[in-house]
Amino acid sequence: MHWSHVGLNCKDQKTTEEFYTRLFGFARARVVELGDSEIVFLRKDAAYLELFPAAGATTAAVNDGPGQAGVMRHLAFQTDSVDAFLAELGDEADITLGPLDFDDYICGWRTVWVRDPDGVIVEVSQGFEDDGRHDKDGA
């Protein structure tokens, strides 16, 4: 078993595709035509995002994402520099929380949360490391 993808509902698939390709390095991998709509697959290394046309209104999440059971809280990516990422984002940065430093837990761990064009919260962190006390199965 291995990770496959995350499916995102999009107000405007082209806007969402541009956000993830420009800022996170994803590239279009496949488009599946479904009559009058399409599903767009984006790929970055082994990670895929599957972009669907939205079927309803967007509910904007806040802080680090919604807390309801059965609802994805946020997507998360690692970067070498949160500050460089925010500089690249510029005026487009819809920051919902942070940047916050978590040096009390891991020296150099820094995180910011931003909102994508569809209201999905995206966490961008630098410096997170596993603690080495857990095996590959999480035991």
Residue 83: strand, helix, or coil: helix
CA distance 112 to 5: 23
Please tell me the distance from the alpha carbon of residue 91 to that of residue 94, in angstroms, as a whole number. 8
| 83 and 43 within one domain | no
For 29-76, what is each residue's pLDDT tens digit?
999 998 888 999 999 998 999 998 887 766 667 787 776 666 778 899
pTM beyond 0.75, yes or no:
yes
Residue 65 lies in a domain: no
**Residue 86 sits in which domain range?**
74-130
Question: Mean of the pLDDT values across residues 14-18?
Answer: 95
- The CATH number for 101's domain is 3.30.720.110
Instruction: State in Å, rounded, how far the first CA of the chain is from the last one.
Output: 18
Indicate if 45 and 95 belong to the same structural domain.
Answer: no
Domain membership flag for residue 61: no
Compute the chain's Rg from CA coordinates.
16
